[in-house]
Structure 1
Amino acid sequence: MSRGVRIITVIVIVIILIVAFNNEKTGGTSFPYLPVLPSRTSPPTSAFLQSWLGERMALSEKAWLKSVEGRDQMAAQHPDYPKIPFYPTDFLKYPYTIWDFFPATWTCPHDVQRVGRLGDGGKWVCGMSVYESLSAPKATQENVEKRETAFSAPDDGLVIYSFGINAESSFEAEMLERLPNARIWGYDFSVSGWGPQIAAKYRDRTFFKKIGLGKADKHDSSPPFWTLPSLMKLNKHNYIDILKIDIEGSEYDALDTMMDAFDNMRSASGSSVLPIGQVMIELHLGDGINLNGRDGGGNVDYGRFSKWWARLEKMGMRPVWMEINLFAITLGNTKSDPRCTEYVWVNAKDKKNVLWKV
């Protein structure tokens, strides 16, 4: 190799190293075949994030639709269009339980975090970091003088409803600690207030009533029951960001009433939507299930469950997480069928959902 060629080669190498060094500092690259990664000093634009989020949601919708098709195909294989096949003789022929028909196939495009204690009481949350990124309301001098919170309107900040307290409030306590822009309305007719987990300094952002969530308004009964639409009207709320429900089997009738009330609310696409961003719910099947003419003492069969679930899906709700509740089985319950499951739904069709406003 001649001296001139060697010099040219060295110059080319130096230029490549300089370009690579500059790109490492700025987080970009001039090579079109390499990905351009956003740096800390140059965050991605809102348009880029919205485009990315839209692509992720489209992929999730595709996966969810595939699972719906699989649900119908698997159900059609059962001669009685299945009731819930938990009995051993049925399981040998048809190896699935009701939970197998309804997997969590809509992937949360954000982080999924456990909030509250491990085990019963804690919940999984889609997009916890998104909620944390929201700024807290700023207190005015008038707020300080009146010893009021910085929230000036009912819908300010994040609105969280919690049904079924049972003296265990680790989920609510952590949400209040991590989300200074959140307030929580809690309801339970079996206890007199929140659990001891909520610190005194957060109590001004909590509201509790000793009532139950029901199918119909029975305010004068003992205990009193309210429907979710009536409670929202009472609290002057048009929207619930996070709804937590654990009401031991009454969730089906209560959510039927909710869907009836909001059936006329339409999204931009013209479909009905619920004014709720995310739901953490424990679903119960009761002590026994009617299967092929045998009365097991329950009232939730596959037909009831699947129609109820499909209606929620039609109104925008998508399952992003599920967790079989094995607590009773661990205790050695003789009825060892997994009859309780925790689900997390997100409202994928609702433009008000803060999860889609990155």
Structure 2
Amino acid sequence: MASPLRNPRNALLLIAFVAGVFYLLAPLKTAPPSNKAFGFTDETLPARVRSYERIYQKVLEGRAKLIQKFGPTPKDVAMFPPDKDPWPPYTVWDFFPPAFNCPHEIERVGQLGDGGKWVCGLDRLQDKPDCVIYSFGINGESSFEAEVLERTQHCQIWGYDFSVRSFGPQIPTFSLRRTHFKAYGLSGKDSHGPQDKPKMYTLQSLMEMNGHTHIDLLKIDVESWEFDVLNAFVKPYVESGKPLPFGQLSIELHLWNRKFPEFLAFWEMLEEAGLRPFFQEMNMVYNNYAKGGEPELSEYSFLNIKGNNVFVIDPPVYNVHGSRPVDY
């Protein structure tokens, strides 16, 4: 029996049918999602950041209403009120949600559990020639630093922790040429005289010591010293109107003996400087086993939306020497 496809007319009809099917299905498989569906007509990176900032401003309105509800002033708000008083209950973290939309992919860098961090757009650093990472608080676990080294070509990591003698064993020997470790502490003021042990430095002093004008990723876990550190470092930038010299901040906040007005002022200072929280992770190991059970420790990741850092400009711009513009 002769095949119907041997008839030229039937063959052409079949080809046309198959082509039509592929034409109809192709958009379903390949068309990327568009921000236009959300009312955004400009899809450049700076435009997305501006749109997400408008959304974030609603959170500030919500915070003011929540303070009014449970206060009515900040001094009247408890960090962790007793059970059923008031009802429904709340915690301090309800006032500070990680409500900013990262304009890139969000992913866990490093191990699950203690040690890893949530980062926005790590691939922006993959080929960056002057990539700089600062990591405070090593504690023998360096899976975060190890993955950053593995996935980037040029990132150099400066690590500081006076409780250990080096980075953790997760960093391969061949990557050590891109790491720099000192057993120094991070503080709100310098204390590094001959008799000072451990030697303590401000973030500004360490940057000057290393000849750095910018940091791409700043990781801080310094057991409640973060308040002194960031108050000393951030306030001068807020007062001068200059952008902070880092792109992202991953930090563990320790609320031991803090009151709500103090923490609110600290957080609002970070916001005024351009830092926006895009991820939060409670330290459940501590919170589950700490005396009293109050969730006083929480990890936050912030994106800096001010200045020319690599996470908010598109495309990244380098000068002929492979360095960032001077107004970073």
* TM-score grouping bracket, smaller chain normalisation: 0.7 to 0.9
Confirm or deny: 8 A CA contact 1:159 1:183 kept in the other structure.
yes
Q: Could you tell me which of 129, 133, 146 is aligned with 2:123?
A: 129
Query: 2:13 and 2:61 mapped to 1: Cα distance?
Result: 57
Q: Could you tell me which of 295, 308, 319 is aligned with 1:338?
A: 295
Name the counterpart of 2:265: 307
Name the counterpart of 1:159: 132
Query: 1:275 and 1:12 mapped to 2: Cα distance?
Result: 64
Q: Offset of 1:123 from its aligned partner?
A: 0.5
Query: 2:308 and 2:17 mapped to 1: Cα distance?
Result: 47
Which segments of 5 or more consecutive residues in structure 1 lack a partner in the other structure? 1-10, 29-33, 39-48, 136-155, 267-271, 287-297
Secondary structure in 2 matching 1:92: coil
Which segments of 5 or more consecutive residues in structure 2 lack a partner in the other structure? 1-11, 33-40, 316-328
Query: 1:50 and 1:354 mapped to 2: Cα distance?
Result: 17
Confirm or deny: 8 A CA contact 2:49 2:312 kept in the other structure.
no
Name the counterpart of 1:351: 308
Q: Offset of 1:264 from its aligned partner?
A: 5.4
**Alpha-carbon spacing, 1:35–1:172, altered in 2? closer, same or farther (3 Å):** closer
Aligned residue identity for 1:338: P
Structure-2-length-normalised TM-score: 0.80
Q: Could you tell me which of 56, 63, 66 is aligned with 2:58?
A: 66
Query: 2:68 and 2:220 mapped to 1: Cα distance?
Result: 31
Q: Could you tell me which of 231, 238, 244 is aligned with 1:274?
A: 244
Aligned residue identity for 1:204: R
Name the counterpart of 2:323: none
Q: How many correspondences in the alignment?
A: 293
Secondary structure in 2 matching 1:69: helix
Name the counterpart of 1:213: 186
The reply to whether residue 317 of structure 1 matches residue 290 of structure 2 is: no
Q: Offset of 1:191 from its aligned partner?
A: 1.2
**Alpha-carbon spacing, 1:175–1:50, altered in 2? closer, same or farther (3 Å):** farther
Q: Offset of 1:245 from its aligned partner?
A: 0.3
Query: 2:291 and 2:214 mapped to 1: Cα distance?
Result: 42
Query: 1:273 and 1:174 mapped to 2: Cα distance?
Result: 28
Name the counterpart of 1:198: 171
Secondary structure in 2 matching 1:329: helix
Q: Could you tell me which of 178, 181, 197 is aligned with 2:154?
A: 181
Task: Please say which of residues 83-92 and 66-75 is displaced more in the overlay.
Answer: 83-92
Aligned residue identity for 1:320: F
For the aligned residue pairs, the C-alpha RMSD in angstroms reads: 2.9
Name the counterpart of 1:76: 68
Secondary structure in 1 matching 2:267: helix
Structure-1-length-normalised TM-score: 0.74
Query: 2:240 and 2:213 mapped to 1: Cα distance?
Result: 11
CA-to-aligned-CA distance 1:107-151 (integer Å, 9 cap, x gap): 10111111111101111111123323x26xxxxxxxxxxxxxxxx
Identity among equivalent positions (%) equals: 40
CA-to-aligned-CA distance 1:273-323 (integer Å, 9 cap, x gap): 21110010000011xxxxxxxxxxx1x211111111111111111000001
Q: Offset of 1:226 from its aligned partner?
A: 0.4
Query: 1:35 and 1:113 mapped to 2: Cα distance?
Result: 24
**Alpha-carbon spacing, 1:36–1:200, altered in 2? closer, same or farther (3 Å):** closer
